[in-house]
Chain A
Amino acid sequence: MVNTWIAATLVAVIAGVVGFFVVLRGAAFVAHAIPHGAFGGAAGAVLIGVNPIAGLGVFAVGGALGIGWLGRRGRHDVATALALVLMLGLGALFLSFSVEYAAAIYSLLFGEVLGVPSDELLPIAGLGIACIAALAVLYRPLMLTSIAPDVAEARGVGAQRIETGFLLVVALAATMTVPVVGVLLMFSLMIGPAATAGSLTRSPRNAIALSVLLALATVWLAVAVSYLTYLPVGFFVGTLGALSYGGARIWTARRRGRTAPV
């Protein structure tokens, strides 16, 4: 059970930090698509007898690069949608080839927080540190391209390269946390707390800190209630995320007498 708390904490910290930038850049679709599509890679890996996490990583990175490439030549949301469905289509193909391993793959959809082996904790922590380090290095150009893309372009900041770097960070975060909380959950944990934090405070540093705190609170509460009720963790994370954001919006609207910006 201790492993569960440690894993949940690590995942929440990564989600809180990465999620802040996801919400800022309006990249919720990409944050959903990359982990979701990566699931297809896990199915393929199981098919050829390789560790599913490796397959997950390959598809996550491939998906990130693919979305970046398609997005350059066409609409961004179209690129994301098509990359996502292609990866999922491949996943469906791989799944159809190997019926006996289906159960292991389905657990990737919703995660196994309540059963994390000890040897997975170190890689999760390592890759989490790598994500946060990458974001720290990219912080200034990332903020500039997110908030004022014209100014960034005028200053010669390569928006494409920053975008690719950011997508790769999302892919990295997804790869390590997806096996723990599942493909469909990682995304909720990235959006809910960060969106709530963003509507409560203007300062980026406060927002990141608040986002991490909210993510931790969400995950701890969800794990605790899930443990008591035997209902899936994902259900509580998704619901808490939506409720906390709704609550934050209502609260700031009452305080300022008008709808709060996101």
Chain B
Amino acid sequence: MNQVLHALFAPGFFASDRVHAALVVGAVVALVTGAVGVFTVIRGQAFAGHALGEVGSAGGSAAFLGGANPLWGFMGIAIVAAGLIELLGLHRPRARDVATGLVLGAGLGLAALFLYLDATSSSTTGVTVTILFGSLFAVSQQMLPSIVALSVVSLLVMAVCYRMLLLSSLSSDLAAARGVPVRAIGIAYLVIMAVAVSLAAETIGAILATALVVGPPATALRLTKRPGGALVVAGLIGVAAVWLGIVLAYDSYYWPPAGHGWPVSFFVVALVFLFYLAAGALTGIAQARRRRRWETAPRLAASGCAEHPGAAV
């Protein structure tokens, strides 16, 4: 048993403080992004989620240049961007697509500016790159309370708006007819997403925060049709990916070629992707089996029953 443990967990894993911090922060972030992400996927706003992460990195760089904590700069600009996307986007999906694209383009331009200023004002290799790719093992202990507090607040807000959010995500016309303030919910939701993405970016980096906001929720929605269940499953899948990623990253310390470990963000993203594919394979097999059952029951097949209409995720 000991030998199995030694093989799975490199020595010092359970004793390391950085690993503890990474596990706790990673789990908290995975739970929040999983819950928020379910609505992102249902609303088809994966692009906005990604855009907020990249625009936020401009704010994070600016904050760092100004001597402030990157997290607040990140969140500030991400929230502003969320407001702009909603204001410019109207209701047509293509208009929203263009609006997101333009806000992202302007934000990236700003990021280019800050990267340039940062590179010329100091000799560091670039705080922007660190913000873009991040490192879970470098999370400071002091940020942990803020991260947990922000996560809890986001989840509470979502819990309070849950029914309105769900209805306006599934059918905005029906929601409007029932008196739900669709526009306000839309803006509020983008702000929550900005906060969640900022928290994720602080840990695994802005670019890869997209993975946690989109991957586990999409996987969960493939496995269960109930939104409430999907929220929980998405969080669990996210935590699994992050924890397994941490273990692998720690174990990889002595792996070739460089001898300083493979990035944890790579492992997390690869696992998220694999879980998504696995869920796809499972649902594919289940659908094939169901189809065969219908086909071998001639009475039912003759009555023309259609394949179970589920939204592909």
Cβ contact within 8 Å between A86 and B112? no
> What distance in Å separates the Cβ of B102 from its nearest Cβ neighbour in chain A?
5
Residue A104 CB within 8 A of the other chain = no
Q: Which residues of A contact B101 (CB under 8 A)?
A: 28-29, 31-32, 187, 191, 195
Smallest Cβ distance from B128 to chain A, in angstroms? 9
Report the minimal beta-carbon distance from B88 to chain A, rounded to whole angstroms. Answer: 8
| Interface status of A89 (Cβ within 8 A of chain B) | yes
* Pair A187/B92 contact, Cβ less than 8 Å: no
Is B126 a contact partner of A106 (Cβ separation < 8 A)? yes
Q: Is B106 engaged at the interface, CB distance under 8 Å to the other chain?
A: yes
> Contact: B98 with A29, CB < 8 Å?
no
A-contacting 9-mer, from B3-11, B172-180, B187-195, B260-268: B260-268
Cross-chain contact A237 with B273 (CB below 8 angstroms): no
Instruction: Assess whether B109 is in contact with A93, with CB atoms less than 8 Å apart.
Output: no
In the complex, chain B residues 94-128 whose Cβ is within 8 Å of any chain A Cβ:
94-95, 97-98, 100-113, 115-116, 125-126
- Which residues from chain A contact B103 at a C-beta distance below 8 Å? 242
B41 proximal to A (CB < 8 A):
yes
Tell me if B108 and A234 are in contact (CB < 8 A). yes
A238–B41 Cα distance when bound, in Å, is 27
Is there contact, CB below 8 Å, between B266 and A74? no
B93 touches A26 (CB 8 A): yes
Bound CA–CA A170/B65 (angstroms):
35
Could you tell me if A82 and B112 are in contact, using CB atoms closer than 8 angstroms?
no
Per DSSP, are chain B's interface residues mostly helix, strand or loop, or mixed?
helix
Q: Does B149 contact A (CB under 8 A)?
A: no
User: Which residues of chain A in 104-151 are interfacial with respect to chain B, using CB atoms and an 8 Å cutoff?
Assistant: 106, 110
Verify B110–A238 contact, CB threshold 8 A: yes
Given A75-B41, A78-B41, are A89 and B98 also a contact pair (CB < 8 Å)?
no
Q: Is the CB of A28 within 8 A of B98?
A: yes
Task: Check A21 for interface membership: any CB of B closer than 8 A.
Answer: no
Q: How many residues of B contact A (CB 8 A)?
A: 62
Interface flag for A50 (CB, 8 Å): no
Our pick among A29, A259, A262 for the contact of B46 (Cβ within 8 Å) is: A29
Determine if B90 and A259 form an interchain contact, defined as CB atoms under 8 angstroms apart.
Answer: yes
B residues within 8 A CB of A234?
108-109, 112
The verdict on A74 contacting B109 (CB below 8 Å), with A29-B97, A81-B50, A191-B98 known, is no
Are A92 and B280 in contact, with the CB atoms below 8 A? no
Q: How far is the CB of B38 from chain A (nearest CB, A)?
A: 12
Contact A78 B266 (CB under 8 A): no
Q: Is the CB of A188 within 8 A of B109?
A: yes
By beta carbon, the residue of chain A nearest B271 is: A89
**At the interface, yes or no: B242 with Cβ under 8 Å from chain A?**
no
Kindly state the separation between the CA atoms of A102 and B133 in the bound complex, as whole angstroms. Answer: 13
Task: Assess the B94–A262 pair: CB atoms within 8 A.
Answer: yes
Asked if A92 and B263 sit within 8 Å, CB to CB, the answer is yes
Q: Are the CB atoms of A242 and B98 closer together than 8 Å?
A: no
Q: Is the CB of B112 within 8 A of A184?
A: yes
Residues on B with C-beta less than 8 A from A245 are 98, 102
Please indicate which of the listed interface residues A80, A84, A187 has the most CB atoms of chain B within 10 Å of its own CB: A84
- Mark each residue of chain B from 181 to 225: 1 if its CB lies under 8 Å from any CB of chain A, else 0: 000000000000000000000000101101100110010001000
A85 touches B46 (CB 8 A): no
Question: In the complex, are the beta carbons of B208 and A78 less than 8 A apart?
Answer: no
When A26-B97, A92-B266 are in contact, do A80 and B110 touch as well, CB less than 8 Å?
no
Check if B263 sits within 8 Å of A192, measured CB to CB.
no
A→B interface (CB under 8 Å) = 23, 26-29, 31-32, 73-75, 77-78, 80-82, 84-86, 88-90, 92-93, 95-99, 102, 106, 110, 182, 184-185, 187-188, 191-192, 195, 231-232, 234-239, 241-242, 245-246, 249, 259, 261-262
14 residue pairs of the A-B complex, CB under 8 angstroms, read: A23-B94, A32-B101, A74-B218, A74-B280, A74-B313, A81-B211, A88-B207, A88-B208, A98-B258, A231-B113, A232-B112, A242-B102, A262-B92, A262-B94
- Supplied contacts A26-B94, A241-B106, 4 more A-B pairs, CB within 8 Å: A74-B222, A188-B106, A191-B98, A249-B88
